Amino acid sequence: MDLTELKNKIISAASVSEKDLNNILKLIEDDKAIFPFNEYEYLLSNFINEGRLTFEQYIEIRSEYIDQNPNLWIYEISAPRGFGEGFAQTYVQAKSSKLKKASKKLDGNYTGQYDLWLDGITIEVKASRAVDAESDSPLYMKALSRNSQKNLLMNFQQLKPQCCDVFIWVAVFRDEIVLWIMNSNEVLSNPLYSPGQHRGNSGNEGQLHVKHDNIQLLKKYELNNGDIEKAIKRAVLRK
């Protein structure tokens, strides 16, 4: 359920005439709403106040929306390190107790160039959130579900394939989290990979844009069975 569907759900649950509904929608349109006092809060509070929507109906709508959008809280993480390290790396590590945070103790040559370690395999974790490329709204409002037909955009940045054996891409959708696991050569040769992220960059740091018309190119790298250790080791064997 996206925000448009949520709005329709609220309206359909309320016993309101077309005339009254148009008046309310006009008030919302003229209102200078900001989060969390936005149009959805306005609709709900108005309908409850006028007895058009019961509190029980509100709880039902709320529960259904939360159930269908379990990852929206991730879109509200504003700090890049909070999203990349605080969420993404922690999420990946939770898949296996053998995944260790990289350190000098594990690798004497370690200088911060990658994130995780698995039996000598160096791993970089990159994450991005799926959003509507045509929207200028805040992240949590333009978040997309995996089956959305809207113009998807995800961007994985600051990629240094020369610094790790394997990349784990954490793709966050509002209703699902997908992991793509590729070795560094597969990243370098991927048609989505751009080697020059910034002007003047010598090619040591790149980026990868995922859009609605190319996301299928990553399907073969998707973790499906949950065995992340095996998927990482298979990626290395393909190198």
Cα–Cα distance, 196 to 158 (Å, whole number): 10
Q: Is the pLDDT of residue 80 over 90?
A: no
**Domain at 79-237: CATH code:** 3.40.1350
pLDDT in the model for residue 195: 83
What would the DSSP string read from start to end of 156-201?
A: EEEE-GGG-SEEEEEEE-SS-EEEEEEEHHHHHT-TTEES--STT-
Cα–Cα distance, 113 to 162 (Å, whole number): 9
**151-200 pLDDT, tens digit each:** 999 999 889 999 999 999 999 999 999 999 999 999 999 988 888 654 44
Cα–Cα distance, 167 to 195 (Å, whole number): 15
pLDDT in the model for residue 18: 67
Model confidence, pTM: 0.81
**211-224 pLDDT, tens digit each:** 999 999 999 999 99
